[in-house]
Amino acid sequence: MDFNLTAEQKKLLDTAEAVARESLEPRASKYDAEATHPIESWHDVWKAGLLTTSIPREYGGLGLDMTTYVMMIERLAWGCTSTAMTVHMHSTAQRFIDFLGTHQQKTTFFSDVVEDGRLVASWGSEPGRRGGASPTQTILSPVDDGFVINGQKHFCTMAGGAFRYLVACAAQGFPGRTGTVMALVPRDNAGMKISGGWDTLGMRGTVSPAVTFENCLVKREWVIGEPGQAENCGIEKAFGLGYSAIYIGAAQRALDCAKDFVKKNRFDPDPGTMAENSLIQRHIAEMALALESARLLTYQSASRWNEVEETGFRTILEGRAKSRATEAALFVTSRAIQVCGGRVAHKRYPLERIFRDVRTCTLMPPNVDRALESVGKAELELEL
Amino acid sequence: MDFNLTAEQKKLLDTAEAVARESLEPRASKYDAEATHPIESWHDVWKAGLLTTSIPREYGGLGLDMTTYVMMIERLAWGCTSTAMTVHMHSTAQRFIDFLGTHQQKTTFFSDVVEDGRLVASWGSEPGRRGGASPTQTILSPVDDGFVINGQKHFCTMAGGAFRYLVACAAQGFPGRTGTVMALVPRDNAGMKISGGWDTLGMRGTVSPAVTFENCLVKREWVIGEPGQAENCGIEKAFGLGYSAIYIGAAQRALDCAKDFVKKNRFDPDPGTMAENSLIQRHIAEMALALESARLLTYQSASRWNEVEETGFRTILEGRAKSRATEAALFVTSRAIQVCGGRVAHKRYPLERIFRDVRTCTLMPPNVDRALESVGKAELELEL
Amino acid sequence: MDFNLTAEQKKLLDTAEAVARESLEPRASKYDAEATHPIESWHDVWKAGLLTTSIPREYGGLGLDMTTYVMMIERLAWGCTSTAMTVHMHSTAQRFIDFLGTHQQKTTFFSDVVEDGRLVASWGSEPGRRGGASPTQTILSPVDDGFVINGQKHFCTMAGGAFRYLVACAAQGFPGRTGTVMALVPRDNAGMKISGGWDTLGMRGTVSPAVTFENCLVKREWVIGEPGQAENCGIEKAFGLGYSAIYIGAAQRALDCAKDFVKKNRFDPDPGTMAENSLIQRHIAEMALALESARLLTYQSASRWNEVEETGFRTILEGRAKSRATEAALFVTSRAIQVCGGRVAHKRYPLERIFRDVRTCTLMPPNVDRALESVGKAELELEL
Amino acid sequence: MDFNLTAEQKKLLDTAEAVARESLEPRASKYDAEATHPIESWHDVWKAGLLTTSIPREYGGLGLDMTTYVMMIERLAWGCTSTAMTVHMHSTAQRFIDFLGTHQQKTTFFSDVVEDGRLVASWGSEPGRRGGASPTQTILSPVDDGFVINGQKHFCTMAGGAFRYLVACAAQGFPGRTGTVMALVPRDNAGMKISGGWDTLGMRGTVSPAVTFENCLVKREWVIGEPGQAENCGIEKAFGLGYSAIYIGAAQRALDCAKDFVKKNRFDPDPGTMAENSLIQRHIAEMALALESARLLTYQSASRWNEVEETGFRTILEGRAKSRATEAALFVTSRAIQVCGGRVAHKRYPLERIFRDVRTCTLMPPNVDRALESVGKAELELEL
């Protein structure tokens, strides 16, 4: 475990911090109110060079190690949870392309991002299936000169906003979990229709409606890897690490808001500012420590990412980070509101939005129960 | 402590339950989305005979004991938190009228409610003052044939919606806390202007903007009691008991939603319904018990309301109920969402609204820190 | 739910309180240090008329309702956890005798208690079996003029101290759970040997070693009921209700000690007594409310005891009380020590003993996991 | 923050682990039962080269950095909490000698440790003073050829066991906190008498009775530093970091015991071992993560020890580590017992001792309230 960052890493994190504060934060409440794609913020993230962090250097990306990556996502989330979440999904889609794609495919798909700042979404959820389970209802079937997809996906983040969608399909004719295969479908595909709304508690800027596929044509070169290769390949566990970073970045923002509020406000007839109240100091301490310990656990998990390139090991890393980051972020965002009091329920303060975002995005798979199950089994040396 | 209800009390609670389920619940999401007064629901509550519960029988009211009252408010909150909250504020305003008013005033003000179902709001908060502190910035000054009010109030629930507003003022010329006096101002008063918006996390149907008073004319007969009489009279502690009941009713609704969801849903590849999962059973048990124990403590506090008619004693009752009901409701509403998972973040499910409502209304004074302080001092036999 | 006690009930509780304070408390640390039977305290409980509380009035007992019984046990536990626990086990044994015994058996066994203050123990646990599971290793076999018991019991409370032991046996030849049968074995039986020690964290005065039965002769008239009758008869759930009361009484004692300590102590250079510190007031409040809400839930469960005379229903009552009382008592006893600080780790203060006792006796079946499981299943209308 | 240990550091930690497992652990229950000094274990720690870890290399010590030191203490605590605690106090006394002593004094005092394995205790507490407050009642007064100490100390760890005692005194004639001065008194000093017992909940092997000084003669060369120099010098904050490591080591032991127990035990009629139960897996996960996050926070605090050599900064480091390590260790040791069940209340299992030790040693100053206060003030940029 080594968090001694190089000058280059530090500079990148400073950049992320500046983009979050100057570009993402000022637009976050608008995307929330309108439930629209954070297009301008994506653009700024790309301009700052942070859209290619998980693309290898040989393809023009930054090829960040997982620890620095996680720290970068955390910083973006401080400014706008929805932007950080979509950038993280895009970045994880790049990892799949890197793992599964041919040299030719990588050249094509990566250059879209590097040259043009085009985002790639990643769609996995299905109606009636537990989040995180492998796909069974979105079927990829061979046709003359390629494939078609039929079925439905839920929680299709960036639908209509990203340039391409990485769709997890079940290859026709493969039994059980042996046929999971990934297809990269471009936005303007006629066989793909948004079939549900996105009016939710939080994470409203992630715009994640249901999408229906009807004989959606897929060219041969859009399919990356062979059926089964994407199943439990270990890459998918990067999702949870990034989620954890997002919870922590958002919760840090909530804590900072609360600290700022109690330092600046004084209410008659209480003497002094709220910050001078010993109970408020205690609340702040409890929040800061809950957050910091979840952060350290998340960094620790990220720093061990390459120790074993295997789903089982990474399930534990993800489980450790996600269960504690979830708990800490829920605690901090709720307590921050409580400490400040009724005034911050107004939408002119950011706290209520962050509170909604955190309660929403902590629901993404694996949920706390499953995350703890993985950790417990690993501790007891039982099979996952 | 005696919860053996009479047949009459039980019937009234059944009525409240039916109104909540059939009339309030179906409109709750609309009031939330639009942030409008629950006018139709108020009407139904009146028609069901539940707008007069704290008006004495001799004036045509129901004159409920505090325990039955609290149980009634809890049932209304199950259907619509905003309606329950406004009805509770109205009902507590009636308690002030009963305590401070002359026979003539009671006859007038109570008949508005009994005959015409007109609501009375209660405004106490001021900018720059801690919630629950006595007023110093809303000044009632004598003029020729009555008074004028000048100043500003915050969190003016039912502004523009209620028929009259019970405004807590500081009588001009009275030092410190000796001059608190209550004036009942009708809605159509030209000296009173809504001066702020109401766009909040939750409790959106309580419509509680800032209101500015500029030489707002007040007739002599609209002022109830003498300066100082309303200060620490003990009546004000009924607020907190009712809030507690609202938290419990809302949390019960959240728990019921979660139970319903897990009984009806099954997600591949998990075997059986969610309800058959032992971890989900445990979550449900933890929620049910947290809620039930807070409920019992709230009923216990209500049942002791008349033991001592004094602010100090009632501060403790209120503190006991409010601190535990707050904690239980925050826990239950957040955990209920977690148990059900990402789908219930959609606004088509009621859970997310109840979650927002509870986080919002638990901020009302006294906050948890102050509630616990009262309880701790009482346990240690220190002065409050 | 009705806690309006009659004058007679109140008097009995006052008696219990006086016995606890004057007789039990002064000896509690001795029994703990020596791990010996609280013989003198049993005697005082008998003299005060509290050894017959679950014996019907027609046999000379007090025939208390469950609510008053639970309140009585709670008061005894305030003075000495081990005495309260043994008296509770004895009292629950009387319930079995009442439920299973013939008139002749009741006359005999009850008169021992009423006339002579003789205690009856109740032994159920077996090596290698989960606590609370029905017996399979202690076999009751017929011989010429009666029966013999062979096997081993664990956690044989009052071994060597009580006058008779109610031994849960498996009747030879009955499959599964159909043969559970109870035998009342007197102390001086040659076939019964204490075969293990009792050197434990807490509850040291309950003296609960292992006991081995080798052809232990049992007269026909010592066996109460037919094989199977004692299995899931509902009576056994009285154990858990009484345990809950014991946790609450012990925790109340810990809280009282802490309150006393902080009121009396002042440590340089802190200003004032510890009680004047606002954080300490908060700790006291949190403890008091955790305890009070668990107490109300326990009383509520007790008050519903006779609603349905059935194991399933009573399992839920027991589960509700025991899970919350466990949690509250663990919290209060640990926090009480923390609030007072290092000095109370000395054995000259009672806090450390109560802390050990509570951590120990809350392990008795059903444990928290199983208690919550029952509650969760009941909430979800699933079979227990 | 860099935990990349060198081969040398790793070897040392392996040594500590081996000593803990092979030498300390087998004797821990004896020292607990008898409340005697762990003399044999001290000897083994010395022989393993771990008694000189905070003595500079130029004086023959190991001169460990704070992070490795803390990891070493954690490992010792896994085997025996009392041995780890006394070694830690001894080691912190060496830090004072290094900071305050002359070259001549260091040569003398350090060689006792390096050559002969003699332990140095550190006594600060006084009756009627808050733990951690500077001394006012143990007065060092000049006499002809040196000084005398008069007064009383509480919690004098290793009294009668260590070779020398570092006594924090108030130099006569110095007002307020300006006169704190340290004297190193050898064991065989006639003016020093053990005046209290040591019969406590836990940490019984630390033997920490009260000690009375009556004209206790102190040679000039036994006093290290000038009056005031030892006051808030920053060294004293090493105590809390080491305590945190002890809590974590002890809790890790408890967790390991619980894991071992549930893997090896199976109780009828439950299917499979306890470890296969999903609720037990969850408990284990919750314990492991609470512990790991407190551990990371403790290591982080230790790794920042030399960033600022100042009491204020180090108070925050200590506060961060100690508050979370306290909470985690209390949780883990209590839950470990709960998971295993009633059998582990027996003293033949180590869990109950560790549980008692942790509840006891977490009471050492600063307590959680003060630790959180420091952290909260630091977060809010207020003066400590």
Which site among A270, A278, A281 would you substitute to test the C interface, given the most C Cβ atoms closer than 10 Å to its Cβ?
A: A278
pLDDT of D183:
98
Q: From the CA of C4, how many Å to the nearest CA of chain B?
A: 6
D306 contacts chain A (CB < 8 A):
no
Verdict on whether the full-model pTM lies above 0.90: yes
pLDDT at C3 over 80: no
d(CA B83, CA D250): 53
Burial class from Cβ neighbours inside 10 Å (0-12, 13-18, 19+) for residue C57 reads exposed
Instruction: With a cut of 60, say whether residue B2 has pLDDT above it.
Output: no
Other C-beta atoms lying within 10 Å of the C-beta of residue C353: 26
Strand A211-219 vs strand A180-186: parallel, antiparallel, or unpaired? unpaired
Region C352-379: what's the mean pLDDT? 97
CB contact under 8 A, D293 and A296: yes
* C279 interfacial to chain A (CB closer than 8 Å): yes
Distant-in-sequence contacts of A48-53, Cβ < 8 A, 24+ apart: A48/A15, A48/A16, A48/A18, A48/A19, A49/A12, A49/A15, A50/A12, A50/A15, A50/A16, A50/A19, A50/A76, A50/A87, A51/A87, A51/A90, A51/A91, A51/A113, A51/A117, A51/A119, A52/A94, A52/A110, A52/A113, A52/A114, A53/A91
Predicted local confidence at residue B1, as pLDDT: 52
- Residue range B74-112, pLDDT digits in tens: 999 999 999 999 999 999 999 999 999 999 999 999 999
| Residue D115 pLDDT exceeds 80 | yes
Rounded average pLDDT over B199-228? 97
Q: Which of A79, D70, C284, A176 is nearest to B268 (CA)?
A: A176
Calpha distance C128→A195 (Å, rounded): 57
D246-285, pLDDT tens digit by residue? 999 999 999 999 999 999 999 999 999 999 999 999 999 9
Give the nearest partner residue to C367 out of D341, D367, D368, using CB atoms.
D341
Taking the Cβ of residue B282 and every Cβ of chain C, the question of whether any pair is shorter than 8 Å is answered with yes
Residues of A in contact with C376 (CB under 8 A): none
Give the residue-averaged pLDDT of D284-306: 97
How close is the nearest chain B Cα to the Cα of A367, in Å?
8
What integer pLDDT is reported at residue B384 of this predicted model?
87
| pLDDT tens, residue by residue, B109-162 | 999 999 999 999 999 999 989 988 999 999 999 999 999 999 999 999 999 999
Q: Is A334 helix (H, G, I), strand (E, B) or coil?
A: helix
CB < 8 Å to A376, chain D: 278, 280-285, 288
Alpha carbon dihedral C282, C287, C289, C293, in 10-degree steps, equals 160
Closest CA to D135 of C154, B57, A77, C268: C268
Contact D384, D314 (CB under 8 A): no
Chain B partners within 8 Å of D282 (Cβ): 279
In this prediction, residue D384 carries a pLDDT of 87
Residue segments in chain A with a per-residue pLDDT below the cut of 50: none
At residue A2, the pLDDT reads 57
Residue D142 neighbours by CB distance under 10 Å:
13
pLDDT tens-digit map of B241-298:
999 999 999 999 999 999 999 999 999 999 999 999 999 999 999 999 999 999 999 9
E strand or H helix that includes residue A152:
strand A146-153
Query: Taking CA C379 as the corner, what is the angle to CA C373 and CA C382, rounded to the nearest 5 degrees?
Result: 70
Mean pLDDT, rounded, of chain D:
96
Q: Chain B: nearest CA to D368, how far in angstroms?
A: 18
Q: Round to whole Å and give the CA distance between A113 and B161.
A: 54
3-state secondary structure of A60: coil
- Contacts of range D4-8, beta carbons closer than 8 Å, 24 or more positions apart: D4/A1, D4/A2, D5/D68
The answer to whether C289 contacts chain B (CB < 8 Å) is yes
**Contact status, residue B351 vs residue B359, Cβ threshold 8 Å:** no
Task: State how far residue B274 is from chain D, nearest Cα, in angstroms.
Answer: 15
d(CA B172, CA B208): 26
CB within 8 Å: C345 and D201: yes
The conformational region for residue D144 under phi > 0 = left, psi -120 to 50 = alpha, else beta, is alpha
Q: Quick one: what percent of chain C has pLDDT higher than 70?
A: 99
CB within 8 Å: A373 and D282 = yes
pLDDT attached to residue A212: 98
The predicted structure's pLDDT at residue A320: 98
What ipTM does the predicted assembly reach? 0.97
Residue B177 has pLDDT above 90, yes or no: no
Asked if D278's CB is within 8 angstroms of B278's CB, the reply is: yes
Q: Using a CB–CB cutoff of 8 Å, tell me whether A272 touches chain B.
A: no
CA angle D177-D178-D181, nearest 5°? 95
A-facing residues of D in 236-265 (CB < 8 A) are 259, 262-263
- For the stretch C204-262, pLDDT in tens is 999 999 999 999 999 999 999 999 999 889 999 999 999 999 999 999 999 999 999 99
Residues contacting residue A383 through CB under 8 Å, at least 6 positions apart: A377
Is residue D342 scored above 90 in pLDDT? yes
pLDDT of residue B44: 98
> For residue C139, is pLDDT > 80?
yes
Find chain B residues with C-beta within 8 A of D278's C-beta: 278-279
Q: What is the pLDDT of residue C287?
A: 98
User: Mind listing the pLDDT tens digit for each residue in D60-97?
Assistant: 999 999 999 999 999 999 999 999 999 999 999 999 99
Nearest to A215 by CA among A139, A128, A153, A137: A139
Residue D341 at interface with chain C, using a CB cutoff of 8 Å: yes
Please tell me the distance in Å from B278's CA to the nearest CA on chain D.
8
What are the pLDDT digits (tens) for C88-106? 999 999 999 999 999 999 9
Strand ranges, E, within chain D: 120-123, 139-143, 146-153, 164-171, 180-186, 192-194, 211-219, 223-224
Selecting from D263, D289, D382 the residue whose C-beta is nearest the C-beta of A380 gives: D263
Among candidates C263, C297, C380 on the partner chain, residue whose Cβ is nearest the Cβ of B380: C263
Hey, is B168 helix, strand or coil? strand
Nearest residue of chain C to residue B281 (CA atoms): C376
- The tokens for C167 are 């031994």
